[in-house]
């Protein structure tokens, strides 16, 4: 009796070991699963953040567009380009061979420096806000450069990637609605 009071009996040890042997793989599995899903969550959050940043930059650039008669805002269905306040550079956003690119050149369209913003772009489409005589707003996939029409009031950018679709509606403080139906 005295000895059994002091330590752990062999039986107890065996039971504990058996319990451990059953539980350990379960726990280890749960743990690794947790680590794996954590990595997955982190990767998807990072991708989301990268996309957020991309759109934040695109939106800030658009709001910083400068209405300049000698360097108009040019908007097409898959690209747009405008002079930027501050640097007075012409900024262009376009999708080429599945990559979204932002390039900067001087106003006369000289050498451009390119920044790669993201790949895996299946579709990049841009629309610009027009108002018809009754005031109804429609979005059309072009912005007129001739005659000089200033900046569009709103630009809708839609990007399709394998991960999903992102869309953003940017309001340009200095812009105005195009005239539709004329």
Interface positions with other proteins (CB under 8 A) = 4-5, 8-9, 12-13, 16, 19, 23, 27, 30-31, 34, 38, 41-42, 45, 48-49, 52, 56, 59-60, 63-64, 66-70, 85-86, 88, 107, 173-174
Q: How far is CA 42 from CA 29, 36, 120, 162, 165, in A?
A: 20, 10, 20, 18, 20
Closest distance to other proteins from the beta carbon of 176 (Å) = 10
Closest distance to other proteins from the beta carbon of 152 (Å) = 14
How far apart are the C-alpha atoms of 53 and 43, rounded to whole Å? 15
Closest distance to other proteins from the beta carbon of 15 (Å) = 8
Q: How does DSSP classify residue 177?
A: P
Closest distance to other proteins from the beta carbon of 103 (Å) = 19
Q: Which residues 6+ apart lie within 8 Å of 31 measured at CB?
A: none
Q: State which residue, 48 or 96, has the beta carbon closest to other proteins.
A: 48
- Token pair of 125, please? 């489409």
């Amino acid at each position: 009796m005295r000895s059994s009071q002091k330590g752990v009996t062999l039986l107890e040890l065996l039971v504990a070991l058996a319990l451990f042997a059953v539980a350990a793989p379960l726990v280890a599995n749960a743990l690794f699963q947790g680590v794996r899903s954590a990595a997955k969550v982190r990767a998807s959050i990072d991708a989301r953040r990268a996309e957020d940043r991309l759109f934040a930059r695109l939106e800030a650039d658009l709001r910083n567009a400068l209405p300049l008669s000698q360097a108009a805002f040019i908007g097409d269905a898959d690209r747009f380009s405008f002079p930027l306040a501050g640097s007075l550079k012409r900024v262009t956003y376009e999708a080429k061979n599945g990559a979204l690119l932002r390039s900067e050149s001087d106003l006369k369209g000289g050498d451009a420096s390119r920044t790669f913003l993201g790949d895996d772009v299946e579709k990049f489409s841009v629309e610009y806000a027009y108002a018809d005589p009754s005031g109804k707003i429609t979005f059309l996939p072009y912005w007129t450069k001739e005659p000089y029409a200033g900046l569009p009031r709103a630009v809708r950018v839609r990007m399709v990637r394998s991960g999903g679709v992102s869309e953003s509606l940017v309001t340009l403080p200095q812009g105005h609605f195009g005239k539709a139906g004329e």
